[in-house]
Amino acid sequence: MKNKRTFITQLLIILGVVVLINFLSGTFFLRLDFTQDNRYTLSEATKEILRNLEEPVTVTAYFTEDLPAVYGAVKRDFKDLLIEFSQVSRGNVVYEFVNPNENEQSEMEAMQQGVQPLLINIREKDQVKQQKAYLGALLQYGDRKEVIPFVQQSAAMEYALASSVKKLSVEDKPAVAFIQGHGEPSLRALQQVKSQLDVLYQVTAVTLSDTTEALSGFSTAVILKPTDQYQDWEKTQLDQFLSRGGNLVLALNRVEGNLETMQGFAVETGLEEWLIRKGIVLESDFVVDQRCASVGVRQQQGLFSYTTQMPFHYLPMASVFADHPITKGLENVVFPFASSLSFTGDTTVKFKPLVSSSDHAGTQPTPVYFNIQKKWSKNDFPLSGITLGAAITGITSDGIPLSLVVFSDGDFAVNGEGQQAQQLAGDNVSLLVNSIDWLSDDTGLIALRTKGITSRPIKELEDSTKILLKWINFILPLFLIIVYGFIRRQRKNALRVKRMEVGYVK
The tens digit of pLDDT for each residue in 209-239 reads: 876 688 888 989 999 999 999 999 999 999 9
pLDDT score for 498: 73
The strand pair at 361-365 and 285-289 is best described as: antiparallel
**Which residues lie across from 98 on neighbouring strands?**
62
Rounded to the nearest integer, the mean pLDDT of the chain is 85
Express each pLDDT in 173-190 by its tens digit: 889 999 999 999 999 999
Half-sphere exposure of 177 (CA within 13 A, CB side): 20
- What does the pLDDT look like over 314-346, one tens digit per residue? 999 999 999 998 998 899 999 999 999 999 988
pLDDT digits (tens, 9 = 90+) for 18-55: 666 655 554 444 555 445 555 557 778 888 888 888 88
Q: How far apart are CA 131 and CA 64, in angstroms?
A: 10
Do residues 326 and 435 make contact, with C-beta atoms less than 8 angstroms apart? yes
Query: Which whole number is the average pLDDT over 7-21?
Result: 68
pLDDT of residue 37: 52
Q: Let me know: does 78 contact 157? Beta carbons within 8 Å.
A: yes
Confidence bin at 451 (pLDDT 50/70/90):
low
> For the chain, which domains are there?
42-168 (3.40.30.10), 173-449 (3.40.50.880)
Q: Note the pLDDT of residue 123.
A: 73
Q: Is the pLDDT of residue 241 over 80?
A: yes
pLDDT of residue 297: 74
Q: Report CA Rg, the chain.
A: 31
Percent of the chain with pLDDT over 90: 44
Q: Which of 243, 221, 225, 203 is nearest to 435 (CA)?
A: 221
Mean local confidence (pLDDT), 112-130: 79
pLDDT tens for each residue of 254-313: 999 998 898 999 999 999 999 999 999 999 999 999 999 998 877 666 677 777 888 999
pLDDT at position 361 is: 96
Judge contact between 167 and 140, C-beta under 8 A: no
Residue of 359, 332, 325, 289 whose CA lies nearest to 446: 325
